[in-house]
Amino acid sequence: MQVTGLLAELKRQGGIASEQQFKELQQELGSSFKDTIDWLLAQTQTWAVAPISSFHVAALVKAKNSQSGVFYAVGVNVELAGLGLEVSTHAEQCALHNAWLHGATEIEHIYISAAPCGHCRQFINEFKGAKNIAITIGDKSTTLNELLPQAFGPVDLGVEQPLLGNAASHHDESRSLHHHFAQSYAPYSGGKAAVAIEYEGATYFGRYMENAAFNPSFSPMQAALSQIVLANQEVDFSAITAVTLLEQQAGKSHLGASKTVLAQLAPHAQFNYELLSSSCAPAIT
């Protein structure tokens, strides 16, 4: 398969490439492993949606699944015009969520086109084995431990199972919103959550990811929107036809923020809401 075909396939797969596909790309390019990574970052950087900053960032996560199979997950930054900067998605968040959604149980390496900001360093720190995760920015290789010394993380708030700490599931395209809700990560609030977005005949899911520092937490709405960006060319969020938010009753809620985002992006889309009690019994449908 030619390079253009491999890139198109990467889009069709939502920014996910198997180890074999990566090797095929490397062979087609006739490049070293590192040069292939750099080429992929440069190509996928163009997928970013950055109407506010005009600063395009790409990230590539090398991960393993429960069968120890290696795969690669792309991520890009996503900014939402007309909304607050706090609902922007960073490339590292996008890539890590993409890897997790597609069955990652271990993060081996993160490759980034620009140095990670403090927000993203804290976000990465939530994952299993975080301090030893290798991070490469351009020609510089380092670890999160070097980028985030004296870090504050899950253990400081009594959480013994960080993100991926007990992961054993595999990716399945038929998984339902309730599956993604169950897989979401909310050890601090206890409020699991997930979103399903209907866009141009397909359904895109986003899982909630909490963080020990709270603010770097990744909302399910942001997560699902980033999945749309990874799988489509020239994204038009106004084409969203429906959004369903499923969340667990807790001391916080994604309801208001999700409705605000949808009202700005696709005001005519249908919004559905389901709230589960703290025991996960259906409460409101």
Rounded to an integer, what is the distance from CA 154 to the centroid of its chain? Answer: 19
Which two tokens mark 238? 């106004």
Rounded Cα–Cα distance for residues 35 and 58 (Å) = 15
Q: Which residues of 43-72 are buried (b: 16+ CB within 10 A; e: fewer)?
A: bbbebbbbeeeeebbbbbbbbbbeeeeebb
Choosing from 19, 24, 86, 92, the catalytic residue is: 92
Q: Are strands 282-284 and 140-143 parallel, antiparallel or unpaired?
A: unpaired
92 labelled catalytic: yes
Q: Helix, strand or coil for residue 279?
A: coil
Closest CA to 58 of 45, 43, 72, 40: 45
Closest CA to 159 of 125, 134, 120: 125
**Ranges assigned E (strand) in the chain:** 16-18, 58-65, 70-76, 104-112, 134-137, 140-143, 193-199, 202-207, 240-248, 270-276, 282-284
Could you list the active site residues?
92
